[in-house]
Amino acid sequence: MERVCLVIGAGAGIGGNVARRFSRAGYHAVLCRRSDEAGLQRLVEGIEAEGGTATGYLMNAIEDGAIEDRVEQVEAELGPIEVAVFNLGAQIGNRSLAETRLKDFETGWRLATFGLFRLALAVCPRMVGRGQGTLLVTSATAAVRGNAGQHSHAAAMGGRRMLCQTLNAEFASQGIHVAHVVVDGAVDAPDTLGRMLGPEGFQKLREARGLEKDGLMLPAEIAETYFHVAQQHRSAWTHEIDLRAFSDRAWWNH
């Protein structure tokens, strides 16, 4: 049986790079994403080309039982999940209150908050039984600041942040490390920002702020922070951390 790092939301940005970083440290990376089987396979093959081991699954996390069944299968067939990474986005775009449909608002909550609750319910008791485990949760500026047009996203991410705090309150003393990671800025990720802006718009943004300018957050560098947090000694755990490019203003200065 192998040590497993499970990544829920494994695209070519943060999720895929976190999986890759843990695989380099000897973890078997399990990558789960909703769609794009070819992209998923490229991530798995890239990890294997570097000498690591990985398994990829297409999974719609909103479906009843999808997260729970995947955790059970991974634990039974691959090994104990020592690190679980919840990296699902829940951005539906800027919409006024009148333009925010009930279904869209609920979907944001199901992805950002309820999905994390379900993952925690599936992995935390197993980790407690082993006396250790780490749950790393990707979050966003919306978790700490609500902007106009962000009704769904801010409510969902704010709930995600509070859930991380309640999980810490219950499980930290039992050896389970829960870390809420606020990604406070634009990430140079083709699967997220690239899809939102389109290929031409994404390339223009990269040329204006990214590439050698380092004004966009690099997923591989973000992954280094995830790995560092997961290796911390329990006498000095980080429970919340925020990341941004050097040239950006912090969320509290906007």
* 97-151 confidence digits (pLDDT tens): 999 999 999 999 999 999 999 999 999 999 999 999 999 999 999 999 999 999 9
Q: Does residue 23 belong to any structural domain of this protein?
A: yes
* Per-residue pLDDT, 182: 98
Domain that holds residue 155: 4-185+220-241
In a domain, 79, yes or no: yes
* Domain count along the chain: 1
Residue 201 included in any domain? no
Q: Between 254 and 25, whose confidence is greater?
A: 25
In a domain, 209, yes or no: no
Distances (CA, A) of 155 to 91, 109, 112: 11, 7, 9
pLDDT at 1: 76
Confidence of residue 18 (pLDDT cuts 50, 70, 90): very high
> What is the pLDDT, as a whole number, of residue 167?
98
Query: Is 126 a member of any domain?
Result: yes
pLDDT for 254 equals 79
pLDDT given at position 199: 82
With respect to residue 190, please indicate whether it lies within any of the assigned structural domains: no
Looking at the predicted structure, is the pLDDT value of residue 178 above 80? Answer: yes
Q: What is residue 49's predicted lDDT score, i.e. its pLDDT? A: 97
Specify the amino acid at residue 62. I
Q: What is the CATH number of the domain that holds 161?
A: 3.40.50.720
Report pLDDT digits (tens) over 28-46: 999 999 999 999 999 999 9
CB 53 within 8 A of CB 23: yes
Q: Is the pLDDT of residue 61 over 80?
A: yes
Can you tell me whether residue 238 is helix, strand or coil?
A: coil
The predicted pLDDT at position 200 comes to 84
pLDDT band at 89 (very low <50, low <70, confident <90, very high): confident
Residue 191 has pLDDT above 90, yes or no: no
Band (pLDDT 50/70/90 cuts) for residue 192 is confident
Mean pLDDT for the chain overall: 94
State the DSSP H helix or E strand holding residue 31, giving kind and residue range, or none if neither. strand 28-33
Q: Which of 54, 123, 136, 53 is nearest to 87 (CA)?
A: 136
Triad 243, 186, 168: Cα angle to 5°: 40
Q: Identify the pLDDT of residue 17.
A: 97
- The whole-number pLDDT of residue 169 equals 98
